A and B are shown apart, each in its own frame.
Chain A
Amino acid sequence: MAVLLSGFFSFAQQKYTISGTVRDQKSGETLIGATVVLIGKVTYSVLSNAYGFYSITAPQNDYFLLATFSGYQNDTLKIQLTKHKVQNISLMPLPTQLKEVIITSKKNDITQTLPGMQKISMSEIKHVPVLFGEKDILKTIQLLPGIKSAGEGSSGFFVRGGGADQNLILLDEATVYNASHLLGFFSTFNSDAIKDVSVYKGDMPAQYGGRLSSLLDIKMNDGNEKEYKVSGGIGLISTRLNVEGPIVKNKGSFMVSARRTYADLFLKLSHDSDVNQSILYFYDLNVKANYQLNENNRLYLSGYFGKDNLGYGHQFGIDWGNSTATLRWNHIFNDKLFSNTSFIYTTYNYNISINQTTNKLTILSRIKDLSVKEDLQYFAASKNKVNFGFNITRHIFTPGNFKTSASSSYNSLILPDKYAFDGAAYVSDEWNVSDKLKLNSGLRVSSFAMVGPGDFYTYDSSGNIKNTQSYSSGKIVKSYLDLQPRLAATFQLNDFSSVKASYSRNVQNLHLLSNSTGSNPTDLWIPSSNNVKPEVADQVSTGYYRKIGNNKFEFSAEVYYKTLQNQIDYKNGALLVANQLVESQLVFGKGRAYGIELYFKKKYGKLNGWISYTLSRTERKIDGVNNNSWYPATQDQTHNLAIVAIYQLNKKWTFSSDFVFNTGNAVTWPSGKYDVNGRTVFYYTERNGYRMPANHRLDISATLEGKKKKRKKFESSWTFSVYNVYGRENPYFVQFQDDPFNPQKTQAVQYSLFRWVPSVTYNFKF
């Protein structure tokens, strides 16, 4: 009887919720992914969400609330949980010079459930030396396992053998279509404005979708809520300026961050009138404002505007850029239910103007997206967190408007706009089954519809029009409904090691047509249609994770296998430019990729850094290519090694270096030669049957912190770096030709880009 009563008692024991927002005490910035732990007889832990919000439900009792976040001092509070409680948390940032080992109780250190997910801290990005001395998120993530560079200096990247267009890049929830400036040498992300960077290598939460291979989720700073701050830097290639401050102290803040290159100033030094009238610049502008309406409501408005401009004399000019604007509303329904509603406008366009005496021509191409997103997080019970929501996007594609003058050799041509609706609904659950087992399960249901107005064609096998059908505005031409399950499990073997396994399916309905090995700003995005099916990827992965030496070191080994369907390639001599029937130029097939990724990281101490190594393979089998047999994809690089070391000598000097090595890309080279009308022509037998020579280089950099005057706010530092210290001629591409000195012989000539590129940047903050 007493046992029954006590059973009833504990069953009926009241549970209360403690919730709140985790912020930086000095600036008021919300902290994403901070660990909040409620320690009592039983321990409950949770990570703060993308807006710093956390919620824990636990039985009535006394607890300690511990909050930790990398780079900040821990905060501990005594909590008496006798009713529902709002407890906001402010963490004090550690001085940047001190990098001590932070001792956390081993139980309290939560591991991310999802394998294949990695975070890079902004301080790591600030210290890794990069080409031209510009701190660059996209170049730094290429040093992680499983992520490969698309080429020297390129911001494009391949994740686990996927294509460069298979990465979903989000900046404050808005999609960025072209994340690179100046043909890839710089990324569009000004690291001064960025708060958080997370990379998901295929296993993204059900909340996200639309690209097969990865999610790069970038969140901008909100802006200092307490005081005005200005920071910036002046470098050899570009200058940046960041201004932030409160709108209303402790209630709202703004941030404006701008960056511009002046590489074209060097062109003005040329004597050649075509060169000194040429322009070559890009700029980025990140703006953000937020306002806390009341305890439960907060509004954010953020925008990104970036543009590249290249021009050669008066004759030729091209500019391209992304613009995004996002309006978000955080609403806390109650201590368990958090909502974020977003309205997003994104556009990517390019303009070309050709202005020769014999030919005047302008070309415009554009994508415009308008989206609505609703994301809800329900912190159900102490062991369950449910995410659910939906989003709808309307896409408008303007493939190309060509306007010519009367004397031009070209006719004006306006390719008809294409319209599509892209929607998804999702539900996912994070379930702490037990102390040792955590399960993430989710389902994303996506629907994609191509709609009229317009004429839509089907083609025969030779690429000629078989059938034309007209659709009126809004009528559905073709729609696709896809189910995308996401499953992941983490099992804690003991206090310091765990294993994870996962399966996910991703579907992609936007495809980038790029008929070249490099990527161009003029590459064309097309939607899925009656001729182009959605691309599908299924990935399974498993991994082993271990913390060594009291959390000073971290080791992980992950294995993955991915199959890809409906991959796109091009017919021989495909015409992708100004072609209304561009879909007739495409061929389709499948792909597969597999590999093992090893990662070892030293997190604390004077010397820290990481080593990453990937051994992998990625292949394609496309109808009509390579005799319909499997061939290595261009981005197949067998070995990929990166070693990053950051050494803090003293309060003044920090040195860092990185070393990279990778096997060359797969490439199509000749297996013979013949003569046509006096020209030596090379004979090809298979696709990608050869390898470029291996690529390796060492970069170093040194940062000198200026004297910090007492009670003066001004801080400054100098950064010196050298890219490619030993000047290796890394192959950019290889060309075959007759030997100019001995036309009887043919030779292979390798072109390389950068050897020994030094740079200097002056940084300031006040």
Chain B
Amino acid sequence: MVFFIFFSLVACKKVIDVNLKNADAKAVITGEVNNLPGPYKVTVSKSLNFTSDNNFPPVSGALVTISGNGITETLEEKEPGNYFTKNLIGKPGESYTLTVSFDGKAYTSTSVMPKPVHLDSLTFLLGRGNDIYPVANFQDPPGTNNYYQFIEFVNGKKFGNGRGNSVFEDRLSDGRYITRTLYDDSSDIKEGSVLKVQMNCIDKNVFTYLNELLQISAEGGGFSSPAPTNPESNISGGVLGYFSANTVSSKTVEIQ
């Protein structure tokens, strides 16, 4: 972190032209089932070449099902590429299986929804200049491996381009009362903003995926990072993306 500060004092940057290869389009599946009332969404899309505009083509007409707790439900495509549940209610401790079929291929994933952990409160840490960082406070259950995902919302909206996302695991913190500062691009957080932090309890495979995803992202990547590789998806069949069954606990605070 200190190196980053030193570095930001002296670095110059400029946009450069790079001649990147164009890989074949890959399928991308993302989906989540949680313990809030539904509907839950699964998105199926395709990848693009680097030089294309960011209009990621949706995959329509796929057969998308989620089964859990003895019930299997087929999701309805309400928008292109976005498939929604109708009746399914997620329950902690249950195992959920997603199946997506299209173009003659089937992809499956199973995720077990962990027991919920309650986000007690949201406090703040003042950083350099006008930086305000939210701090999540909660009790990590001792004796189990717990994995967490944090998503920040300012004035009801997610940060742009996937910022405001982080993950945490209790490998070194089992049973502790956690005060987790969310060091992320906080330029959107100002006095008077309404900040919401959502804490999801996720399973191990989803943590692995999201952790690797963050490592290769613009904030985490660059110098002083391992060589990037595609994050290990928990969906079988050679597809990008992930499927998560997680619990949700949020807190909202207005910053004075």
Q: Interface of A with B (CB < 8 Å)?
A: 183, 272, 274-275, 280, 310-312, 316, 318, 356-359, 402, 407-411, 413, 515-518, 520, 570, 572-575, 578, 634, 667-685, 687-690, 693, 729, 731-738, 743-755
Residues in A neighbouring B55, C-beta threshold 8 A: 744
B102 CB within 8 Å of chain A: no
Distance (Å) between the CB of A745 and the closest chain B CB?
A: 6
The 4 closest A-B pairs by CB, nearest first: A679-B162, A358-B179, A674-B47, A671-B23
A573 to B206, CA, bound (A): 13
A745 x B18 contact (CB < 8 A): no
Give A601 Cβ to nearest chain B Cβ, in Å.
35
Partner of B3, one of A183, A574, A575, A751: A183
Cα A668 to Cα B216 in complex, Å, equals 11
Further pairs besides A744-B53, A752-B14: 14, Cβ < 8 Å: A410-B173, A516-B223, A572-B229, A578-B171, A578-B172, A672-B22, A676-B242, A680-B54, A684-B216, A734-B18, A735-B222, A750-B14, A752-B12, A752-B13
Q: Does B236 contact A (CB under 8 A)?
A: no
* Cβ contact within 8 Å between B23 and A745: no
Residue of B at shortest CB range from A752?
Answer: B12
Q: Which residues of B contact A688 (CB under 8 A)?
A: 227
Min distance, Cβ A131 to any Cβ of chain B, angstroms: 12
Inter-subunit contact A517/B225 (CB<8 Å): yes
Query: Is B146 in the interface zone, CB < 8 Å from A?
Result: no
Q: How far is the CA of A520 from the CA of B30 in the complex (A)?
A: 35
Q: Give chain A residues whose Cβ lies under 8 Å from the Cβ of B240.
A: 674, 676, 681, 683
B144 interfacial contact with A, CB 8 Å: no
Q: How far is the CA of A733 from the CA of B13 in the complex (A)?
A: 10
User: Is A675 touching B49 in the complex (CB atoms < 8 A)?
Assistant: no
Given contacts A675-B56, A677-B162, A688-B227, contact A312 B213 (CB under 8 A): no
Chain B residue contacts of A573, Cβ below 8 A: 208, 211-212, 215, 231-232
| A residues near B7, Cβ cutoff 8 Å | 753
Contact A280 B6, CB 8 Å, known A671-B50, A675-B28, A676-B30 = yes
Q: Do the beta carbons of A734 and B16 come within 8 Å of each other?
A: yes
- With A356-B181, A745-B53, A748-B18 already in contact, the answer to whether A668 and B228 are too (CB < 8 A) is yes
Structural contact, A736 and B218, CB atoms closer than 8 A: yes
In whole angstroms, what is the CA distance A115 to B225 when docked?
A: 36
- Within B2-55, the residues touching A (CB, 8 Å) are 2-3, 5-7, 10-18, 20-23, 25-26, 28, 30, 45-50, 53-55
- On whether the beta carbons of B218 and A735 are closer than 8 Å, the reply is yes
Q: List 14 A-B contacts (CB under 8 A).
A: A357-B125, A407-B177, A668-B228, A668-B229, A671-B23, A672-B22, A672-B49, A679-B161, A684-B230, A729-B12, A733-B222, A735-B218, A748-B16, A754-B10
> Roughly how many angstroms separate A310 CA and B3 CA in the complex, as a whole number?
9
Q: CA separation between A690 and B21, bound complex, in Å?
A: 10
Q: Please state if A751 and B226 are interface contacts (CB–CB under 8 Å).
A: no
Asked whether A687 lies within 8 Å of B161 as measured between CB atoms, the reply is no
A735 to B241, CA, bound (A): 22
With a CB–CB cut-off of 8 A, which chain A residues contact B48? 672-674
* Contact status of A743 and B160, CB under 8 A, knowing A359-B179, A411-B172, A749-B14: yes
The residue from B25, B53, B212 contacting A572, defined by CB atoms under 8 A apart: B212
Does A312 lie within 8 Å of B227, measured CB to CB? no
Name B's A-contacting residues (CB within 8 A): 1-3, 5-7, 10-18, 20-23, 25-26, 28, 30, 45-50, 53-56, 125, 128-129, 135, 158, 160-163, 165, 171-181, 208, 211-213, 215-218, 221-232, 240-242
A622 → chain B, closest Cβ, in Å?
Answer: 11
B70 to chain A, nearest CB (A): 29
> Complex: how many Å from CA A516 to CA B15?
23
Which listed residue, A517, A668, A678, touches B162 by the CB 8 Å rule? A678
Given contacts A685-B21, A732-B11, A735-B221, A515 and B226 within 8 Å (CB-CB): yes
Cα(A672)–Cα(B45), bound, Å: 14
Q: Least Cβ distance of B243 to chain A in Å?
A: 12
Q: What B residues does A356 contact at CB under 8 A?
A: 125, 181
B165 close to A679 (CB less than 8 A): yes
Which A residues are CB-close (under 8 A) to B16? 693, 731, 734, 748-750
**Which residues in A have their C-beta under 8 angstroms from that of B208?**
573
Q: A230 to B195: give the CA distance in the assembly, Å.
A: 63
Q: Which residues of A contact B28 (CB under 8 A)?
A: 674-676
> What CA separation (Å) do A183 and B4 show in the bound complex?
11
Contact A312 B46 (CB under 8 A): no
Inter-chain contacts of A183 with B (CB < 8 A): 3
A676 closest partner in B (C-beta):
B30
Distance to closest chain B CB from A182 (angstroms)? 9
**A743 with B54: CB separation less than 8 A:** yes
List, in ascending order, chain A residues with CB within 8 A of B47's CB. Answer: 672-674, 683
How many Å lie between the Cα of A36 and that of B10 in the bound state? 52
Contact B213 A743 (CB under 8 A): no
Q: Which residues of A contact B230 (CB under 8 A)?
A: 683-684
Taking a contact as CB atoms closer than 8 A, the residue among A409, A745, A755 that contacts B179 in the complex is A409
Given the complex of chains A and B, what is the CA–CA distance between A269 and B11 in angstroms?
20
> Are B15 and A748 closer than 8 Å at their CB atoms?
yes
**Given A318, A408, A736, which contacts B2 in the complex, CB threshold below 8 Å?**
A318
Contact call B20/A669, Cβ cutoff below 8 A? yes
Known A-B contacts A677-B30, A743-B161; the reply to A750 vs B128 at CB < 8 A is: no
Among B11, B46, B223, B226, point to the contact of A674 (Cβ < 8 A).
B46
Return chain A residues, CB-CB under 8 Å to B181: 356, 358-359
A34 to B216 Cα, complex, angstroms: 54
Closest-CB distance, B114 to chain A (whole angstroms):
19
Q: Which residue of B lies closest to A735 (CB)?
A: B222
Decide if B225 touches A516 in the complex (CB within 8 Å): yes
- Are B12 and A409 within 8 A (Cβ)? no
Q: In the complex, which of the residues B12, B54, B158 contacts A744, with contact meaning CB atoms closer than 8 Å?
A: B54
* A373, B15: Cα distance in complex, Å: 55
B151's nearest neighbour on chain A, judged by CB, is: A677
Contact: A408 with B54, CB < 8 Å? no
CB-based contact B216/A675 at 8 Å: no
* Distance, CA A272 to CA B130, complexed state (A): 12
- Cα of A261 to Cα of B215 in the assembled complex, Å: 34
Is the Cβ of A316 less than 8 Å from the Cβ of B2? yes
How distant is B63 from chain A, measured CB to nearest CB, in Å? 21
Among A356, A674, A678, A751, chain B packs the most CB atoms within 10 A around the CB of A674
Given contacts A675-B45, A751-B222, contact A682 B228 (CB under 8 A): yes
Q: B26 CB to closest chain A CB, in angstroms?
A: 6
Q: Residue B229 contacts which of A681, A684, A749 (CB distance < 8 angstroms)?
A: A684
Alpha-carbon distance between A670 and B230 when the two chains are bound, in angstroms = 10
Q: In the complex, A729→B171 CA distance in Å?
A: 42
Min C-beta distance of A272 to chain B, whole Å: 6
- A570 to B212 CA separation, bound complex (whole angstroms): 13
Of A280, A634, A755, which contacts B227 at CB under 8 A?
Answer: A634
Can you name the residue of chain A whose Cβ is closest to the Cβ of B208? A573
Contact B54–A683 (Cβ < 8 Å): no
Which residues from A are CB-within-8-Å of B20? 669-671, 690
Tell me the nearest residue of chain A to B1, going by C-beta.
A316
A residues near B179, Cβ cutoff 8 Å: 358-359, 407, 409
Docked pose: A310 CA to B26 CA in angstroms = 45
Most B-side CB within 10 Å, residue of A515, A572, A689? A572
CA–CA, A752 and B222, complex, Å: 12
